[in-house]
Structure 1
Amino acid sequence: MKLPRFSITLCLLLVPFLSARSAVEKPNIIFILVDDMGWGDLGAFGNKGTKTPNIDRLAAEGLRFTQFYVNSPICSPSRTALTTGQYPQRWKITSYLSNRAENERRGMAQWLDPAAPSLARSLKSAGYTSGHFGKWHMGGQRDVGEAPMITEYGFDESLTNFEGLGPRLLGMADAHDGKPPRPHSLNSEKLGRGPVIWYDRTHLTEGFVGAAIQFMNKAEADGRPFFINLWPDDVHSPFFPPADRRGDGSKRELYRGVLETMDEQLGKLFDHVRDTPALKDRTLIVFCSDNGHEPGAGTAGPLRGAKGTLYEGGVRSPLIVWGPGLIPAGKAGQTNGTSVFAAFDLTVSLLALSGGTAPIDTTFDGENLSPTLIGTGTDSRKKPIFWRRPPDRKGTAEENLLPDLAMRDGEWKLLCNYDGSAPQLYHLPADAGEATNLAGRHPEVVEKMTRAVTAWHDSLPPDHGPALGEKRSRRQAPRK
């Protein structure tokens, strides 16, 4: 059975708009967050074997950042940092949100506290209307059906997948080639809390794109600036590319097929913005991944590590920023390879660009780097970036155990255990692949950074999981 590609109607988006307000001086913001895409997966970031012409064109017309980081190597905490502008550990979201028992075992919250700062809520102070379309994964998944609705975080409308509540598009796998369709929903339909549309999983990104375009057209008609989260479930496994994009059926080929299909579907959104005069010069598109690639599927290019690890391949993300009306014409198409900043800096920077204000009692961990973001400056964040590994990502065999903490400070990257043991120190300008451990040659740098990262770790709520606080006497051998 072939499922239809439904037109997502606004009647399914349940929360009404606020009153109209002129938005001439405020940029529309579209934030595209891909799921599990590697740093080296795009043509614009050096991949020769995958065709991503629409995303590559976005980079050619905008800015490309090669030293941008997310705040966790796994989805839920990464998304929490983007939403709040803060380290996700402050809200006890330290790995992917799972079922109730698993969350409790790992010392995690069941969902993001609605009292947490929210970019969407803060943008309301600047007159924005906000919509979330796609994966949420900050509450409302598995058996956690009483989590807050997405609209409780400041969004006026939402349409999500099986890892959120409210109106949902749920995928039917194998519906594209005549096989009996099967749901890929993790039983989300049993949670209630919003209408469900069953959708061909191959075209799920297309469904979210269609809903986002309807939302922006309505906002434009009402004379309001808009903020949109477009967060596809692609390119997360399992992989459901069209039949003609399966290659040899290997994991890598299936992944490539999903990535190329997603690029094609996102292209409809990019073209809509380009071809609509009222949008082109007043819209900023920000594009990145929530964490590194799944091993065996994507690629980090020259970087070490993948999803779930604190090495560069787990936490460094491709970042593209497009905005003809905001980026100086002479800067378009350039690559920024020097500015070091992270996802929570995006939150603060976008708020600054909008003219919005955060709650008076909010202290962000992110910094305002809005000039860097639109190409009128090249500053890096002033404070270091810290990471803590997901509590369920440690490894088993001694030689494969992963570091617990990491820190980027200027040109240096340190990884170590919770107690500061087994340090690994890398000079990233010369060794982006983290191949040569310089800890023995620079003990003063190791001591300073170890004190800083362990103090940061101790200042945050604890989590639980395999080997929490474990001490190891043997260092993890650096990759040769």
Structure 2
Amino acid sequence: MRNKTFLFLFIFLAAGTWSCAYAERPNVIFVVADDLGYNEIGAYGQDKIKTPHIDKIAKNGMKFSQFYAGAPVCATSRSVLMTGQHSGHTRVRGNAFPEDNGKQELYEQDYTLAELFKDSGYATAAIGKWGLGMPNTQGHPNKQGFDYFFGYLSQHHAHNFYPTFLWRNEIQVGLPNEVKPMGNGHMYGAGFATKAKVYAPDLFVDEALQFIDHNKNKPFFLYYATNVPHSNNEATLINRADGAEVPNLGIYAEKPWMLGAKRHAAMITRMDNDIGKLMHRLQMHGIADNTIVIFTSDNGPHIDHAEPMDFFKPSQPLSGWKMELWEGGIRVPFVVSWPKVIKANQTRSEVAYFGDFMATFADILQVKPPKNIDSHSLLPIFSGNAQQFKAHDYLYWEFRGRDTGLVALKDGRWKGIIRKKNGKKMELYDLQSDIGEQKDLSEDYPKIVAELTQYLKNARTPSENWPAIINL
């Protein structure tokens, strides 16, 4: 009997050392910035823009050095996040034009992170930018597992930080701003504010604080998808620096920088202050220790409002930007804290991506993940059992746009890129020795090129709305 008891304890400790921590299920605050580069927060080396609260999340928990978004643009990346499927399997595989939003919405049969939490008894809310379904469609957040939604439904509407309205669930909420409609998204509220009174991100943090207050005594999942620091693309047409919409320059007012740079930095530091408010509210309610706080970005930087664009070196040491297949387009910051489980001040080199959160949270909630996902749980890393983490043999991206093409990443090291403009020729980079992707090694390693090409041939499923980019 004694031996059986010892064996049971051994299995319990080996397979689930953290299980006792789940007597009380953790809350989750999942913050996604919009177009924030790998090097735009202090924890990753930024020395001009101040982000003390985000940096504190990293200091109190861990940061990942090789973590990837779902795509180099927002809609696909967020679809990957919500479904746990890579961009060759997920529903939304590109950014659609405003007149063709039907291609950019989740379907009823898509199972989302929010539904995972809701089915587990969590209160769920999405606040900020959605971009995966409009009113009266099956992709609306209220039909995808979120009890509550406040923000922008259209990504084009989200360009405008001083909108004339936002959405509360399926009801429009009017705001006192006045806007000159502009751009191809003007039908959804895109444009330039001629009278700027209410800054949408200020409303988002207030809504988030209220949600925390209302749910402090039960588990909750808060998806906080700010539109900072995305440019107001329409405003840049009037004056480049105007694309960085922010109420004031804050601590950067006296900096000897060009106006666009000051505004860009002010946007990010203001967002950081908002995150600090969320963290303080958790402390105030005594729920900080058992709340998972995640901060990341939906893709690489797109700062056409900054002057000059490379002033902050937003992708350093990577090459590339948003809408590009270089590392700078898809590798993003990812910091996470969970004081009850994660030991402080860690830097992790494991390779992971947006799709992994589905398996991660299923593991944390101790429920079965949905079938047909491309997702590996990060919980072993979080809980100090990294040797049990199942690394991806391959990761996959596809993208339609300025840098149309396919990407395969093997073992986190060998990155193959097939760009449509180059036909079926693959470029090959060794990220271990060449993080800046400066030297194409395709001629030196033909076997790896062949292996990655074969993977790309079979990595995607057909999509009526998103046909294959390159027929291999």
* Alignment TM-score, normalising by the size of structure 1: 0.77
Identity %: 27
Cα–Cα, structure 1 residues 439 and 89, in superposed 2: closer, same or farther, change >3 Å? closer
Equivalent positions of 1:227-238 (< 5 A) are 227-238=221-232
Q: 1:124 aligns with which of 118, 122, 135?
A: 118
Shift of 1:445: 0.9
Aligned to 1:267, what secondary structure does the other structure show?
A: helix
1:387 match: 397
Amino acid in the other structure paired with 2:125: G
- CA distance in structure 2 between the aligned counterparts of 1:114 and 1:255, rounded to whole angstroms: 38
How many angstroms apart in 2 are the aligned matches of 1:159 and 1:265? 16
**What displacement does 1:275 show?**
3.4
The CA distance in 2 between the partners of 1:225 and 1:46, in whole Å, is: 34
Shift of 1:95: 1.8
- Aligned positions of 1:85-164 closer than 5 A: 85-101=84-100, 109-140=103-134, 146=137, 148-163=139-154
1:182 maps to which of 179, 183, 186:
179
Query: Contact between 1:136 and 1:160, CA under 8 Å: does it hold in 2?
Result: yes
Once the 2 structures are TM-superposed, how far is the Cα of residue 253 of structure 1 from its aligned partner? 3.3
The answer to whether the 8 Å contact 2:31/2:224 transfers is: yes
Match of 2:9 in 1: none
Q: Which amino acid aligns with 1:149?
A: H
CA contact (8 A) 1:100 1:110 kept: no
Partner of 1:195: none
Q: Which amino acid aligns with 1:287?
A: F
Q: Cα–Cα, structure 1 residues 374 and 79, in superposed 2: closer, same or farther, change >3 Å?
A: farther
Using a 3 Å threshold, how does the CA distance of structure 1 residues 315 and 171 change in structure 2: closer, same or farther? closer
Query: Contact 1:84–1:116 at 8 Å: present in 2 too?
Result: yes
Paired amino acid for 1:335: T
In the TM superposition, what whole-angstrom CA distance separates every residue of 1:77-111 from its partner, at most 9, and x where no partner exists? 1001111111244344222243134x5xxxx7241
Residue matched to 2:262:
253
- CA shift, 1:61, in A, is 1.0
Change beyond 3 A, Cα 1:420–1:447: farther
Q: What residue number does 1:318 align with? A: 333
Alpha carbons 2:377, 2:390 under 8 Å: kept: no
Displacement of 1:276: 2.7
1:54: which partner in 2? Answer: 53
Corresponding position of 2:25: 26
Q: Give the letter aligned to residue 354 of structure 2.
A: A
How far did residue 349 of structure 1 move? Answer: 0.2
Q: Indicate yes or no: 2:265 matched with 1:265.
A: no
CA 54–350 in structure 1, closer or farther in 2 if over 3 Å, else same? same
Partner of 1:208: 204
Q: Give 1:355's aligned residue.
A: 366
Residue 187 of structure 1, CA deviation: 4.2
Equivalent residue number for residue 476 of structure 1: none
SS, match of residue 454 in structure 2: helix
Please state if 1:45 is matched with 2:44: yes
Q: 1:347 to 1:183 in 2, by over 3 A?
A: farther
Residue of structure 1 aligned with 2:344, choices 325, 332, 341: 332
Task: Give the counterpart letter for 2:266 in structure 1.
Answer: G
Task: Name the amino acid aligned to 2:450.
Answer: E
- Shift of residue 420 of structure 1? 7.2
Q: Does the C-alpha gap of structure 1 residues 78 and 29 become closer, same or farther in structure 2, counting only changes over 3 Å?
A: same
1:381, CA displacement in angstroms? 2.3
**1:260, 1:318 → 2: CA distance?**
16
Q: 1:346 aligns with which of 347, 357, 364?
A: 357
CA RMSD of superposed structures (Å): 3.1
What amino acid does structure 2 have at the position aligned with 1:234? V
Query: 1:416: how far off?
Result: 1.4
- Aligned match of 1:280 in 288, 292, 300? 288
The Cα of 1:354 is off from its aligned counterpart by 1.9
Identify the match of residue 289 of structure 1 among 263, 288, 297: 297
Cα deviation per residue 1:146-181 (whole Å; 9 max; x = unaligned)? 56431111111111125279xx9984279xxxxx85
Whether the aligned pair in 2 keeps the contact of 1:273 and 1:280 (CA below 8 Å) is yes
Displacement of 1:348 in angstroms is 1.5
**Partner deviation per Cα, 1:202-248 (whole Å, 9 max, x = no partner):** x432321221121122122xx42111100001110021123334664
Aligned residue identity for 1:454: K
Question: How many residues are matched?
Answer: 407
SS in 1 for 2:162: strand
Secondary structure of 2:340 counterpart = coil
Task: Give the stretch that moved more between structures: 371-380 or 426-435.
Answer: 371-380
CA 1:275–1:449: 2 relative to 1, 3 Å: same
Equivalent of residue 172 in structure 1, options 141, 154, 162? 162
Whole-Å separation in 1 of the counterparts to 2:108 and 2:189: 23
Q: Hey, what does 1:406 align to over in structure 2? A: 407
Q: Tell me the TM-score normalized by structure 2.
A: 0.78
Residue 250 (structure 1) shift: 4.3
